[in-house]
Structure 1
Amino acid sequence: MAHCIDFLSKISRLKTLDSDPMNTRMNRCLTTLDLTMLGIGGMVGAGLYVLTGTVAKDMAGPAVTISFLIAGFASLLAALCYAEFGARVPMTGSAYLYTYITMGEMWAFLIGWNIILEYFVGGASVARAWSGYFDELLGFRIRNFTYEHITGGPWEHPPLAEYPDVFSVILIFAVTLFVALGANFSSKFNSIFASLNLCVVVFVICAGLNFADIGNWKTDGGFAPYGFAGIMSGAATCFFAFIGFDVIATSGEEAKTPAKSIPIAICASLAVAAVAYVGVSITLTLMVPYYEIQPEAALPAAFHRHGLAWAEYIVGIGALCGITTALLSNMFSLPRIIFAMASDGLLFPIFAKIHPRTQVPVVATLIFGILTAILALIFDLEALVEFLSIGTLLAYTIVAASVLVLRYQPPKDGGIGGGPTNDDHREAESDIEEKRKEKMPLKQENHSSEINPQDFGTLKAGFECLNFLRNFQPGTVPAFSVLIMSIFMLALAAVICFGVNSLLAAEAWAIFCVVLFSLIVILSFLMICIHYQNNIILTFKVPFVPFVPALSIFCNSILMMKLSYLTWIRFVVWVTLGMLLYFTYGIRHSKEARRWEADKAPEIRYFIMPQESLCTIQGSVELQQPNSATPLADDASSDTSDTRTLLGNAK
């Protein structure tokens, strides 16, 4: 039994942030505009030129506009959760870091492992899309040359591609080089291409509306020929057009003013992307009847239909610019996630090396750039594109749950993870006192500041009938309720998606499951609501907690149930590989493991020493502190910090 408890303690270790998160080895050079353009570049890409036509013709018809609005709303719920964490914890790692702070080490590794796959395979697939689109503009000369002089014809051995895509390899190497030159250079490169792409989007909307015919929304089934089911299926597909905003959270450690810039950039880039997708979808379906759209080249074909064949080249330039920024977004984020995990000891330490000149993880950038290029060279990635979505949805779900857990935790010493620090509370109380002196009315949200911070996560007054809940540690009941609510939301989504015919037929088992699961979800939600929430947050915070994060979890659950069973099988295989790596390497080399072991060995941390000797050792530690520019500075600095902690405890 003791071994089981010890094992559970290891895998649930929380990351402690015992230093100022604004201090970083990376270069804080990105402005709010830079972050916003990174988000736009990650979202307004190939999907705009390909996805719009596919969803309009095969899933939703002209109601593709509604599908994009629903998908944008679901993405907004997740984006708000990312914005709060990104403002409070301005460090590299995105969903991985947020999970590590609130959920524990194993869950964090699982999320980080899936994000790596998302960027890894996503970068390769985007590179092949760029190469294919460019080859199409050239009349497929690259493909034909490869067939004639290299392969002698198409390969017919799935999952290999039909031919080795050398051009995509060259493209990946070029983008990897730009990323390796530093965040400032990458952001400027991205801003140029994202701006060109937005100019093309404006051209498409303005020029296309000149040929608008409202009659195209009224013929052959009307505005929603596939009904509500088609709109929701389209929304599930369109959702993945908005998954690029997490690059902003990943860049938190390189933002100049992350507390302000990250929330603004996330919301602004998402708004621009939503306007672009909705505007283009309206334009396309008004220009051409949905059943005559050519999905593989929807916009060029629409302009060609109305006698503007030259517009094909303008659209082609926009598509290439959009795909380029999407590739840059993937290659920019991938090494930073790997760097964050390696810095925590969960991956090999070579990936945590920072180049002293460019201040980026160059080793991780180059190694995974090469691996991405190999993947793009020989594999057919169409079957893996859907696989990417499950990792993203899981990350969104965990981040939303983490916001709920964090909001109902009392402040803890040594980190942001348990809530705001004592300095935050003193600052908030100081602001309130100044307002009282000035006889200014207090905002409603500041009323919670009159509650003792240590009461966050405890039962609210007025619920004496549930006093037995006070026997638990503050925050325990809300955290357990979040877990139960998330599990049964997933179960409810499964019944709704897979048992829809049984529900329409009013079969007893389906109705019973829906009612039972709904009651459990509602009771868990109410259990969260009757506990004191921490509203003293000096940075951006998600509004309407716990409703918004809970709704985000449910939307993500519905979308996950829309994925095929093959996607779930691939997901299980990838997670299994990740867990093997974690239990053979990560769990033993984790930096939190060293802190955990130190806590278990009090004789190492607490000892008696004369005051004179203590002062001598403290002075020696200050003198021997290494220069941060040396290759071993990170480990040495960490050891010095640990020594100071030991000395402080001794004193």
Structure 2
Amino acid sequence: MSICDRMRKGPKAPADDIDDSKRYLDIYKLIALGLGGTLGQGIYVLTGHVAHVLAGPAVTLCVFIAALVSILGGICYADLSSRVPRPGSAYIYSYMIMGEFVAFNVGWSMMLDYTSGYPDFLALALILLSACVIAFGIKKSFWLNLSFIVINVITITLVIITGTTKSTTENWYLKTKEVQEDIGDGGYFPYPVGKMLRGVAICFFGFVGFDCITSTAGEAINPTHNIPMAIFATMLIVFCTYFLMSTILTLMVPYYLINPITPLTSAFQYHKMYHVQTCVTVGSVLALSASLLNSMFPLQRILRAMAQNGFMLKGYASVKGWTKSTMLATFLFTIIAAGTLVLHFEFLIQLSVMGVLLDYTIVAFGVVLLHYKKDRKFVDGPVEEISFKAVMRQICSGRHSKKANIVSDYIARLFLIIFVVFSGLFCLAFKCFTIINQLWAIVLASCSAVLSIVCIIIIGIQPKSSVLSPFETPLVPLIPCISIWVNIFLVSTLSWLCLAVYLTWMIVGYAVYFGVITADFLGKRLIRNMAKQMIDSFKFLV
């Protein structure tokens, strides 16, 4: 097998070696895992930061838009989790659908995503504590995590009840003269639209923890049903909580007085409610602990899957029998997470969000590919070769052929790639227009938008695969394509420095990837040559 063939290969799903009698995560435990991963830093830190620096009271709108984006990604995740119920989350999905190279991109990116969202030295202590806890086993750490979630829910309820008594709508209608200099213009939208869009991207970070649910497919009871349902239940609860908390925060305190690091505790201090402040402080620390624990769950599975594929040390693939956890993976998480503490808070969040959005894009890409994959069950006569004439005939005939074939599969792949390119051009042109305000940027953005819609239409008229799954994304390819477009657009709102650092991280990953496969390729070639020489020598002796 050549290096290019290895990059493209997508093996069949391995046999599920998990004994069903050993599955212990029902739908309620899966929801608890999802809540533990999402109801953490987003509520106690992010909403205040976005309100103070980027959006003001419009942080509530940012949360709403971020929830819609997350729902689109969650639908795609649920689709793939019902088709590929294997631990490893997006890494496994992309490996099965798009091959090794794309999967490595996802896995390497997710390593950065899970370790770059905890930017203070209190987090360092919690990282070390969480690493020790999870090293003692998944079941034990799950029950500790559940206790943290219960305390977190009690804290949130306390904030909602007591915060409502100190809320006033006057904080949403501040006059410009009432606001401190260089902190917006007052009102509900005190900052420019560009800043608010960046606030949407940062608020999106508060919804990314639900993918820890998909990483537990090996322990989940009836994963094809329970995992999708747990994803949607988690997202609904998280959205309602975030929306309420951001609303109460901006009604309690004028946005320009919100402390961007400790917004809720400072809000109660502002109203001299010191007992509530203490309770919120304790609850926020435990919520951060639960979030850290849940970050380690999927990272362990991803590193184990990458080690099994030869991209990491084999030690990452070994599971300690009595703990069911990978010690080396936990250790690596601790080292990388501690190393990110020197970076700025907002920069770390942007870095994590960028990786997650690109991972969601690949997941949505995989959903379209699966829905238009050529049928193997039904074959109508000889297999048609891919040619320009065959492609044009298939595009014009649309669903005249009711069964997905090799040509319709090729068209779906081709125009999906073209759609991604045009989506990127649109976002680049839009960002350039906001900076230089030139006519050519508007023309390029308009043409890219029109051509993107044409690509969706061409994909949509192709016959779909007859393979069914317990849960399917509705309105394919529209929903996945909207998810792809929105994800790319939100990435374009992030800083250029963040993009540069992310690309540097990926370049390091490519060096690792191509180094591994080149060494493997050369090693196998050397073994083949040595075997051939031995056989030739044996023939000579005989």
Q: Give yes or no for the alignment of 1:67 onto 2:62.
A: yes
1:102-181 aligned at under 5 Å gives the runs: 102-122=97-117, 125=118, 128=120, 130-131=122-123, 168-169=124-125, 171-181=126-136
* Aligned equivalent of 1:499: 433
Q: 1:55 to 1:24 in 2, by over 3 A?
A: same
Shift of 1:263: 0.8
**Counterpart for residue 397 of structure 2:** 464
Give the alignment partner of residue 188 of structure 1, picking from 123, 143, 167: 143
Aligned 1:55-454 pairs, distance under 5 A: 55-122=50-117, 125=118, 128=120, 130-131=122-123, 168-169=124-125, 171-220=126-175, 221-226=186-191, 228-365=193-330, 367-372=331-336, 375=339, 379-380=342-343, 382=345, 383-412=347-376
Alpha-carbon contact 2:398-2:461 (below 8 Å) kept: no
1:73 positional shift: 0.6
TM-score, normalised via structure 2 length: 0.85
Aligned to 1:549: 480
Shift in Å, 1:25: 11
Residues 25 and 13 of structure 1: is their aligned pair in 2 closer, same or farther, counting only changes over 3 Å?
farther
8 A contact 2:9–2:100 mirrored in 1: yes
Distance 1:474 1:262, change over 3 A: same
In terms of mean alpha carbon deviation, does 32-41 or 175-184 score higher?
Answer: 175-184
Q: Which residue of 1 aligns with 2:444?
A: 513
Shift of 1:254: 1.9
Instruction: Determine whether 1:41 maps to 2:5.
Output: no
Distance 1:537 1:587 in 2: 38
Cα distance in 2 for residues equivalent to 1:248 and 1:78: 14
Larger radius of gyration: 1
Letter in 1 for 2:68: F
Please tell me whether residue 484 in structure 1 is matched to residue 433 in structure 2: no
Contact 1:49 1:299 (C-alpha < 8 Å) held by counterparts:
yes
Which residue is equivalent to 1:571? 502
The TM-score normalised by the length of structure 1 is 0.71
The structural deviation recorded for 1:472 is: 5.2
Q: 1:527 to 1:218 in 2, by over 3 A?
A: same
User: Against the structure 1 CA distance between its residues 120 and 300, is the aligned structure 2 distance closer, same or farther, given a 3 Å change threshold?
Assistant: closer
Over the aligned positions, Cα root-mean-square deviation in angstroms equals 3.2
Which residue, out of 558, 561, 574, partners 2:492? 561
Match of 1:147 in 2: none
For 1:529 and 1:465, the matched residues in 2 are separated by: 9
Distance in structure 1 (CA, Å) of the matches to 2:207 and 2:166 = 28
Alignment gaps of 5+ in structure 1 = 132-167, 413-421, 426-450, 598-651
Are the equivalent residues in 2 in contact too, given 1:30–1:184 (CA < 8 A)?
Answer: no
Please tell me whether the aligned partners of residues 74 and 552 of structure 1 are also in contact (alpha carbons under 8 angstroms): yes
**Closer, same or farther: CA 72–23 of 1 in aligned 2, 3 Å:** same
Amino acid at match of 1:192: S
* CA distance 1:176–1:273, shift in 2 (3 Å): same
* Residue 540 to residue 521, structure 1, CA distance change in 2 (3 Å): same
What is the Cα deviation at residue 214 of structure 1?
1.8
- Cα distance, 1:562 vs structure 2: 1.4
Q: Which runs of 4+ in 1 moved over 3 A?
A: 21-27, 128-131, 227-231, 378-385, 457-468, 470-474, 586-590
Deviation sequence 1:116-156 (CA, Å, 0-9, x none):
1222344xx36x3535xxxxxxxxxxxxxxxxxxxxxxxxx
| TM-aligned CA distance change 1:462 to 1:342, over 3 Å | closer
Identity of aligned residues (%): 31
> Counterpart in 2 of 1:151?
none
The CA deviation string for residues 526-578 of structure 1, in whole angstroms up to 9 with x for no partner, is 11111112365231121221111111101111111112121222122211111
* Aligned partners of 1:32 and 1:261 also within 8 Å: yes
Alpha-carbon distance between aligned partners in 2 of 1:81 and 1:389, rounded to the nearest angstrom: 18
Q: Residue type matched to 1:88 in 2? A: R
**What is the aligned partner in structure 1 of residue 537 from structure 2?**
none
Work out the CA distance in 2 between the residues paired with 1:396 and 1:361. 26
Aligned counterparts of 1:211 and 1:467: Cα–Cα separation in 2 = 63
Q: Helix, strand or coil for the counterpart of 1:111? A: helix
Give the secondary structure class of the aligned counterpart of 2:209: coil
Letter in 1 for 2:297: F
Contact 2:202/2:349 (8 A) holds in 1: no
2 CA distance for matches of 1:9 and 1:407? 24
Tell me the matched-pair count.
505
CA shift for structure 1 position 474 = 4.2
Name the amino acid aligned to 1:12: R
Shift of 1:300: 2.1
CA contact (8 A) 1:29 1:184 kept: no
Partner of 2:10: 14
CA contact 1:335–1:368 (8 Å) conserved in 2? no
List per-residue Cα deviations over 1:262-320 (Å, max 9, x = no partner): 11111111111111111011111111222222223322222233331211101101111
Once residues 34 and 472 of structure 1 are traced to their aligned partners in structure 2, the CA distance between those partners, rounded to angstroms, is: 42
Please report how far the alpha carbon of residue 508 of structure 1 lies from its aligned counterpart in structure 2 after TM superposition.
3.5
| Secondary structure of 1:475 counterpart | helix
Please tell me the residue identity of whatever aligns with 1:349.
K
Amino acid in structure 1 at the alignment position of 2:80 = F
